[in-house]
Chains A and B, each alone.
Chain A
């Protein structure tokens, strides 16, 4: 098991390095001048040149990459071109908000998805199954931002039940688990949970239906186990794949919530990334993408490590 984990970790390293190269280069390929958003349009040329030197944008790309990677390894992602604030602090602050949102959305999505998928799998080909399948297809297909806007129009603008934007009365630094704050989380979390819910429901439904059809289930029933006892065997067989799907989905939730966070002005990485893109804030953009990508790599690693614990067959393979 230890050798397996070590191997997985070693495999992850070149992936992480490629991630740094790609996210460094991607932002340089995009059109537009990184300083145009920082310096006003009528800033004199010498000010712009001085800013370029100050941010190291006058050096060749390879040198810029080397310097950036060297600092990044030490936890210093530079400072934002637009605000002058340290990127590491900015991104970590935003990551904590995104983690909060993604975690709540993932729990909602996973629990609802498992419940729906389980019911549909047990009642395969029934009306209930069809309803659940339709709901999960809708969940996967509905655009996040559209659903977010619809929910906002209904629950904020019309009914005045829930706030339309923001992370609570005092801003994100002052988050506490009281209703005044939680009510800000409800709409974005529900919006964000719909896709993983659909994915998990579809996966679990297929797996449950498949497992129930296998001979060992018949054997267990024939041996006199109750349905409840058999259910635990089904769960054990379904869990590794469902977890793998959820692990990937959590990765998407962390990075893919740009639109949802923008619609709800939720101060997470998606909101930060959106601003950084529009402001051409290269250090901020690189830092955010890097941290999100590394999260994704780490999550996959975690899933790779957890899966064989649940399913010993995988260790042998």
Chain B
């Protein structure tokens, strides 16, 4: 009997161990992205900021990272692969960057000044063997002022800019560092590197099936011990169709979906899903034309439009998933300042201003807006625009729409109002990100940013703005710079230079098993504290 008992006991023990092993193995975190493909994994991701969110700050680090730990304040910069950075007092085009010691890439090679120089060459020097046109296309535009990067010693580099640029630290936050050793090992092929990339980030990619899934596992040797990932594994799936994302969440195929359709949110809530949202640097506006015959040349008309839109009503239409806009940035941001003109819903005042300008609901001012039927960051463009059309009609505007395909509208944004593709539009409706001063102000308001130099679509030009923006760009003290940017913003609002409508709140839906997620006020999110309960 003894051998029999031993066998039974052994079998029970083995079964018990297997069961407990199953119970304690942490389930992977499965996320459905809105992208149609896995964003580029070689270093500089494509697919906009969703690419940066999931395949950028996960596998890689920047010299300067974003602090994504708080849901209560706007995300700011924090040391990443650089421990400190300082502009040369004598020559404001030279920055000294001190690098973090002891950082290793996923392949075990060391991160140092050579790898920094190598990665900048990858983007900027098309004669270098590691130059990658795809990454250059995604990354070069983020560092327009960087002229040269040189090694001073193993842990220090000097970055030279074409002109004094106090916004360089923001720009550097978008540049990631791929491992030169891994690239060499893979036969100097970026195509192979895409399947086995090596960065310094908190996750490493172990499997990629194009258009279907990317599997990341925790990198135990991550340099920031506070940010070693809680999850052992993350599976990212591109599911561009919003209804499919919702169905995948409800059927238990994924734990987390990006951007559920607003009309699905009540159903997801009733199925027990958690809906998270938070305001982030996103604005949904009408950007005006400043051509001499533009109806927006009259400040009374511009102010009237800003006072005519019932933003609270619009918020209801979106199931609460927006924040009413009061300017180019959110009202709690350091750059908001104290504008005298308060943007709110005041149809009586709007009517009065329009009457003064010579227009009434009976004799309305015709304006034509370029809009899209869908598109990344555009929220729900058709119902939102129809709502605004109604609001504006009540105070004396006759709004017509030129509905364009999203890519066509987007391409036109770069080309400007004079391009034939603008089809006589008086304003364009393209939402934008404003996490750094260049993106928030310079690229729209500076004369130099008129196409093809930036996104000053309406050809706005005002020497006063140019001067203020140049000054802010050359002010290296952060507080003083913020104060100057607040002045720019105050002036923008007082001049009612745009029609500001809404800020998106980045809704996400997840199962109750997802723990530890803090939705930062940013386009990017930290996945390291997130885990899935068994």
Contact = CB atoms under 8 A, between A and B. Distances in A.
- 8 closest Cβ contacts across the A-B interface? A171-B209, A156-B251, A157-B250, A164-B247, A42-B141, A32-B407, A275-B36, A171-B212
Interface residues of B, number: 49
A77 to B, nearest CB: 16
B232 interface: no
Contacts of B534: none
B37 A83 contact: yes
A165 B452 contact: no
A83 B414 CA distance: 23
A236 B213 CA distance: 48
Contact of B443 (A42, A43, A83, A172): A42
B388 to A, nearest CB: 24
Interface string A163-192: 111110011110000000000000000000
Nearest to B251: A156
B247 A43 contact: no
Contacts, number: 140
Interface string A76-99: 000000111100001000000000
Contacts of A43: 137-138, 140-141
Contacts of A149: 243, 247
A83 to B, nearest CB: 7
Contact of B133 (A45, A51, A166): A51
B405 interface: yes
Contacts of A36: 407, 410-411, 414
Interface string A232-273: 000000000000000000000000000000111101000110
A165 B443 contact: no
Best-surrounded residue of B133, B134, B247, B455 (most CB of chain A within 10 A): B247
A138 interface: no
A280 B406 CA distance: 11
Contact of B244 (A37, A264, A275): A264
Interface stretch (B11-19, B76-84, B234-242, B337-345): B234-242
A127 B99 CA distance: 82
Given A32-B407, A40-B48, A263-B244, A83 B40 contact: yes
B244 A265 contact: yes
A160 B252 contact: yes
A38 B137 CA distance: 8
Given A32-B407, A32-B408, A51-B133, 10 more contacts: A37-B407, A41-B455, A43-B140, A83-B40, A85-B191, A156-B251, A163-B253, A165-B237, A165-B244, A172-B209
Contacts of A41: 410, 413-414, 455
Contact of A84 (B134, B213, B244): B134
Contacts of B454: 42
B144 A44 contact: yes
A205 B500 CA distance: 62
Best-surrounded residue of B40, B46, B142, B443 (most CB of chain A within 10 A): B46
Contacts of A84: 134, 190-191
A31 B36 contact: no
A263 B241 contact: yes
Interface in B231-270: 237-241, 243-244, 246-248, 250-253
Nearest to A38: B137
B136 interface: yes
Contacts of B250: 156-158, 164
A279 interface: yes
Interface string A272-288: 10110011100000000
Given A36-B407, A153-B247, A173-B209, A265 B239 contact: yes
Given A32-B408, A275-B36, A278-B407, A152 B244 contact: yes
A1 interface: no
Interface of A: 31-33, 36-45, 47-48, 50-51, 54, 82-85, 90, 149, 152-153, 156-158, 160, 162-167, 170-173, 262-265, 267, 271-272, 274-275, 278-280
Best-surrounded residue of B37, B126, B408, B455 (most CB of chain A within 10 A): B37
B248 A165 contact: yes
A247 B37 CA distance: 32
A42 B439 CA distance: 10
Contacts of A271: 211
A38 B216 CA distance: 24
Given A50-B133, A267-B211, A40 B138 contact: yes
6 contacts: A38-B137, A40-B141, A157-B246, A164-B253, A263-B243, A267-B212
Given A33-B411, A47-B140, A262-B240, A172 B247 contact: no
Interface in B392-420: 404-405, 407-408, 410-411, 413-414
A271 B140 CA distance: 30
A29 to B, nearest CB: 13
Contacts of B334: none
B210 interface: yes
A223 B114 CA distance: 94
Best-surrounded residue of B190, B210, B443 (most CB of chain A within 10 A): B210
Contact of B247 (A82, A156, A267, A274): A156
Interface in B118-139: 126, 133-134, 136-138
A239 to B, nearest CB: 38
Contacts of B248: 156, 163-166, 265
A275 B211 contact: yes
A156 B245 CA distance: 12
A163 B251 contact: yes
A87 B227 CA distance: 39
B407 A262 contact: no
A271 B35 CA distance: 12
A90 B191 CA distance: 14
Contacts of A280: 407
Contacts of B37: 82-83, 275
A152 B141 CA distance: 42
